[in-house]
Amino acid sequence: MKIKKGDMVLLTAGDEATATPRKVTEVVDGGERVVLEGVNLVYKHVKKGHPKSPQGGRLRLEKSVSASNVAYYCDSCKKGVRLGYRFQPDGSKERYCKKCGTSAGQVSPARARYAKTK
């Protein structure tokens, strides 16, 4: 999956789908699911002695949503877009916006095998 922790994404499906970008706090199940800040909040009832709540009670947790229900938010396009991968001339790999072509960050360092030499 091309979505990473720290990315800003738009929730495209479900009850909480809005045009407000949300931050990805965690990527789960090898990229199949993502946890978004302030989305899909649930209560978990815990007994006394739980490490996060020693007195017991209800914990407020953010549950994961399917990665297919989010779209990367491009700052230059101001909308949810698809991402692609491409190699730079020095051989490094980066993510980029498929609409406007702006870079979304480097994925892997430069390798001589993928460098474009003429």
Residue 35, pLDDT score? 95
Tell me, which fold does domain 1-81 have in CATH? SH3 type barrels. (2.30.30)
Whether the full predicted model's pTM is greater than 0.85, yes or no, is: no
**Residue 101 and residue 93: Cα distance in Å, rounded?**
14
Burial of 65 per CB tally in 10 Å (0-12, 13-18, 19+): buried
Domain ranges of the chain: 1-81, 82-118
* pLDDT interval class at 2 (50, 70, 90): confident
* pLDDT interval class at 118 (50, 70, 90): low
